[in-house]
Structure 1
Amino acid sequence: MASTLTASTRERYPPQIKYIIGNEACERFSFYGMRNILTVFLIQYLLVNQVPDEAARQTAAKAAFHDFVSLVYLFPLLGGIIADRFFGKYRTILWLSLLYCVGHLLLALYDDNRQGFYTGLFLIALGSGGIKPCVSAFVGDQFTEENKGLVKGVFALFYWIINFGSFFASLFIPLTLRSFGPAVAFGIPGILMFIATVIFWAGRHHYTNVPPTRCDREGLFGKLLWAVFGPRNGFIWVVSAALFPKKKVPGAKSWLDQAASAGHPPEAIESARAVFRVMGIFAMIPVFWALFDQKASTWVIQATKMDLMVGSFELAPSQLQALNPIMVMLLIPLNNFVLFPWLERKGIQITPLRRMATGMFITGFSYVLVALIQLSLDGGNKPSVLWQAGPYLVLTLGEVLVSATGLEFAYSQAPRQAKGTIMSLWNFTVTVGNQLVSLVARLNVFEGMAATLFFYASLVFAAAIVFALIASRYQVRDYYMPATPAPAGAGEHAIPPVAALGEKKAL
């Protein structure tokens, strides 16, 4: 009877999950709703009077868009620090969500004022980026040992609801911009963000709130240093001790082992070593993001020049982005349950690093396709915007192979003590990739869009080759939680045993 009751209990999600999922659906609609019309709005509305030349206006809009995305993926580091070290996840999410709402309000009110509009963009980047690491972790906090089997299902639902919100935002908000203007088009996402905040607040009495980590430093300056760099055995402290050792450690096998001279334990040194291993894998990932995020800038600019009529209905230039979330929801199960098992039955090992390298090559081919479309446009033709559906399919396949796999791989390669650092580095690759696009746009060294598109295709092909070479030398080490409780006295930061997977070459 006891086992039956336990099984029954495990079948039900905690009641507070509905508030978090509802919040995420509305928040993602609000974010993608404003993000996916941003490039078109800048070109057709905000920058018209300030930048009369259309080509220059497109360049300025593209740079501004990618600067915004860069900030969105830079602020998760700040949000994580605030939540983990000071205020906890619930209060961090709630307070940053309120700033997020103010940002949307400024977009709707200052659609003809650059200073007011860009202030709104900054607040949205701060709010969206700041809550990004907190919300997903907050979901996990709601589960215990009793119902931990439901965690995988709730994260699948979490990912699905993100794409659900993105799809409807991409489908309807571009039409709203064209039919009702920017104030309404930015106002609707703002209303959805306010609803998201209210939904999240409504669950306040039901949440499990994990308190922030206790700070053992005195004074404001000491607390800030501790917040940024973490506890004494954190990554920054270990690297500093290794670079400037108090004394030489006899028999040290690498420079990081010198950190033992400052009293850092072996598990902390191993965590720092894992961060450096994964940084080598991450080195080429920004190039992927530089291409992927241009679907909302360069590809939208291209769509404005194409035939937008589909039968008797006219699509908005930004609307084809709705294909991406639909394709994600279709391709992930197709890959996981059909393609990958079939390849493995054929004797082809589908390791995470092989998937990521393949995804980068595939992403390059999507840019070859859009470059060919651009050559047709430059030749005086006006092909249907539906020709972009093919490149969207190829790009989305690259996304599911690189993005979803990379996040899973990074998490598995990080000891528990370094998981936060490595997840922050993963988000930072998005920032670097978007800054690369912003820099190239501002330098404006290419004649015409086709040349720019072929440049990016060549860049990601080269990055994929370098990635494959780095990966071929990477020794996979999966860090698992121990099957038995840690021994007494192991301490808060004890590292689970390391299981090194068989072969040295993972690719």
Structure 2
Amino acid sequence: MTTIAAEAKPAHSPLPRQIPYIIGNEACERFSFYGMRNILVQFLASSVLLAYLPEADRQGAAKDVFHTFVIGVYFFPLLGGWLADRFFGKYNTVLWFSLIYCAGHACLAMFEDNRNGFYTGLFLIALGSGGIKPLVVSFCGDQFDQSNKHRAKVVFDAFYWTINFGSFFASLLMPLFLRELGPAIAFGIPGALMFVATLIFWAGRRRYVRVPPATSDPHSFLHVARTALTARAPGQGRPGLAMAALGGALAVGALFLIPKLGFVICACLALGLIIAFGGIGTSMQLERAHGAHPPEAVDGVRSVLRILIIFALTTPFWSLFDQKASTWVLQGNQMAIPHDQWWWPSFLVKDAAQMQALNPALVMLLIPFNNLVLYPALRKMGFEPTALRKMGAGIAFSGIAWIFAGLIQLAIDGGDPVSLAWQALPYALLTFGEILVSATALEFAYSQATASMKGVIMAFWYLASTFGSLWVLLTNAGVRNEAVISHIAGTGLSENAFLMFFFAGFAFLAALAFALYARRYPMQDNYRAA
């Protein structure tokens, strides 16, 4: 194990020898995750696990399970990051959570016909995957120092490419394995890949640079926020504290809805209320933290609160994006695969779920197209594609994608055979939106957050996906109401078509709100000095 105080390396030092272990781990882990994720809804909708439900309700239940799982995946980074930063360090936390991850995959393979066993596996995978999610990339960054930091960009590009490479082959192959070999093997293969990922990561243990856990920071985000909320000002009350208390009371009230809405929905609602009202209350009294904390810490909290509004406005995008692995797969199962067409790769694409492979394939194509062709062309026309403009446009493009998905659903509902190839259009539009939102947001947040708050921002960014899936669960719960069902029937649309147009409208409203807020957002530049 290398220590932080290692001697400086030569100016032209090679790539750190431990990096291939981390890249190899990432490649196998991403294949394992997307491999099981992209067949989950397809398996559940036709499995004995949901056989207790009427057949008409099984697809909706499968979507609920999927989005509950996604909520866990993007919630547990808070736990993993906290444990690594405060107690165990990144290496130990990644290794232990990886073992939990492997146990979860084993449960899926062994308990394909046992509801409790299978759902336990999903919980363990959400815990393991979420626990390591915020750590692997930052652990990779820890391996570089001032002498070779110029090589870090190449490695991070390899990281992003590896994620999409693994996702592409997992999306393409795993539906075939599920169809041809059955669920035990289809879920077992990702489990084997996760075990290999863990083994690769462990094999590099003697080469890694390990940054020790940090001590408690008296000027952290939470410490500054607490000071702001509790500090008194002469002749003034504490309206911010009252606002935060109201959020806490509403959060407790949300928990009383558990018998009706379920624990996951209510817990996420409670968390959202605490964050929203606590953030508003903190911003109302933030100036009171001056004196107890240095100005840069107070300014850091202010930057985080501004970025939280940006993140909140992206949550509708994530509610649309993550449904490509649930709603769109179920729609594809209703469509005709054009095996009779000469241009269709019948030797390979035999299942509707394989259309998900378009997403990572298009990501790898569109990123260089945007950077080399689209953005320079826009600049020549006098339009600067700023981060906020790109993100707002990305949310709107997701809405357009769902308009086309809704039109496809109308054709399906009309009774005529609809070619699965038509799904390529909404996939392309949604992927374009993903690049504009996801690939831009982290760079934007990094530039806006002060150095001490960059870790907090990463945790909140993952929560954006959690709340995106929360909107899906709330919508699915809402359409089970008799009054809502009656209203949908009155529109002349099927439930599926109505929800697709509803989510498109949700995205357009979010894009409009995003544009309005972006116009008055005070841009910062918090990159460190050269």
Using structure 1 for the length normalisation, give the TM-score: 0.88
Q: Deviations over 1:198-247 (max 9, x none)?
A: 000000011001111134xxxxxxxxxxxxxxx22111221221122144
Distance 1:296 1:254 in 2: 40
* 1:442 CA displacement: 2.3
CA contact (8 A) 1:60 1:442 kept: no
Q: CA deviation at 1:8?
A: 3.8
Matched, 1:76 2:123: no
Alpha-carbon displacement from aligned partner over 1:70-128 (angstroms, at most 9, x marks no partner): 11000111100011110000000000000000000000000011111000000000100
Q: Does 1:187 align with 2:222?
A: no
- TM alignment of 1:95-494, pairs within 5 A: 95-215=96-216, 231-248=217-234, 255-261=285-291, 263-311=292-340, 313=347, 315-444=350-479, 445=484, 446=488, 447-483=494-530
1:418-477 per-position Cα deviation (integer Å, ceiling 9, x unaligned): 111111111101000001101211222455200000000001001100000000010100
Moved more, 272-281 or 79-88: 272-281
Deviation string 1:117-163 (CA, Å, 9 cap, x unpaired) is: 00000000010011011100000000010000011111000000010
Once residues 140 and 249 of structure 1 are traced to their aligned partners in structure 2, the CA distance between those partners, rounded to angstroms, is: 49
Tell me the CA shift for residue 381 of structure 1: 1.3
Please give the secondary structure, in 2, of the residue aligned with 1:477.
coil
Contact 1:332–1:400 (8 Å) recurs in 2: yes
Q: Distance in 2 between matches of 1:283 and 1:213?
A: 29
Once the two structures are TM-superposed, the CA of residue 417 in structure 1 deviates from its matched residue by 0.8
SS class of match (1:478):
coil
Aligned equivalent of 2:43, options 10, 17, 41 = 41
Distance 1:319 1:50 in 2: 28
Q: 1:8 to 1:241 in 2, by over 3 A?
A: closer
Aligned to 2:76, the other structure's residue is in SS state: helix
**Any idea what the Cα deviations from partners look like across 1:148-186, whole Å, max 9, x if unmatched?**
001111100000001011011111110000001100000
Does the CA contact (< 8 Å) of 1:63 and 1:439 recur in 2?
Answer: no
**Structure 1 residue 327: deviation in Å?**
0.2
Instruction: Choose 341-350 or 87-96, whichever is displaced more.
Output: 341-350
RMSD of the TM alignment (CA)?
1.6
SS in 2 for 1:318: helix
Amino acid paired to 1:470: Y
Q: 1:32 aligns with which of 34, 50, 60?
A: 34
Q: Say whether the 8 Å CA contact 1:41–1:182 is kept in structure 2.
A: yes
CA positional deviation for 1:292: 0.3
Question: What CA distance in whole angstroms lies between the structure 1 residues aligned with 2:407 and 2:45?
Answer: 24
Measure the CA separation in 1 of the matches of 2:309 and 2:231: 24
User: Is the deviation greater in 288-297 or in 338-347?
Assistant: 338-347
Displacement of 1:267 after TM fit? 1.1
CA contact (8 A) 2:49 2:114 kept: no
Q: How far has the Cα of 1:6 moved from its partner?
A: 4.7
Q: Is the 8 A contact 1:309 1:315 kept in 2?
A: no
What is the DSSP-based 3-state SS (H/G/I as helix, E as strand, rest coil) of the residue aligned with 2:133? helix
Q: Give the whole-Å Cα distance in 2 for the aligned partners of 1:173 and 1:144.
A: 39
In 2, Cα distance between equivalents of 1:21 and 1:469: 40
Q: Secondary structure at the match of 2:352?
A: coil
Contact 1:177 1:184 in 2 (8 A): yes
Instruction: State the distance in 1 between where 2:502 and 2:512 align.
Output: 16
The separation in 2 between residues aligned to 1:258 and 1:8, in whole angstroms, is 49
Contact 1:306/1:384, CA 8 A, preserved across alignment: yes
- 3-state DSSP of counterpart to 1:206: coil
Amino acid at match of 1:437: V
Amino acid at match of 1:237: H
Measure, in 2, the Cα distance between the counterparts of 1:439 and 1:246: 39
Question: How far 1:254 sits from its partner (Å)?
Answer: 6.6
Determine helix, strand or coil for the equivalent of 2:525.
Answer: strand
- Alpha-carbon distance between aligned partners in 2 of 1:482 and 1:315, rounded to the nearest angstrom: 53
Deviations 1:368-391 (A, max 9, x none): 001000000000012111110111
- 1:451-506 alpha-carbon deviations (Å, 9 max, x no partner): 000000001001100000000010100102134xxxxxxxxxxxxxxxxxxxxxxx
Contact 1:47-1:57 at 8 Å conserved across structures:
no
Structure 2 partner of 1:66: 67
1-structure distance, mates of 2:145, 2:234:
45
Q: Which runs of 5+ in 2 are unaligned?
A: 1-8, 237-282, 341-345, 489-493
- Count the aligned residue pairs: 458
Alpha-carbon distance in structure 1 between the residues aligned to 2:234 and 2:40: 55
> 2-side partners of 1:188 and 1:162: how far apart?
17
- Aligned match of 1:218: none
CA distance in 1, matches of 2:522, 2:12: 42
Q: Which runs of 4+ in 1 moved over 6 A?
A: none
Determine which of 11, 23, 26 is the counterpart of 2:25: 23
Q: 3-state SS of the aligned residue for 1:283?
A: helix
Kindly tell me: are residues 248 and 130 of structure 1, through their superposed partners in 2, closer, same or farther at Cα, counting changes over 3 Å? farther
CA distance in 2, matches of 1:270, 1:467: 23
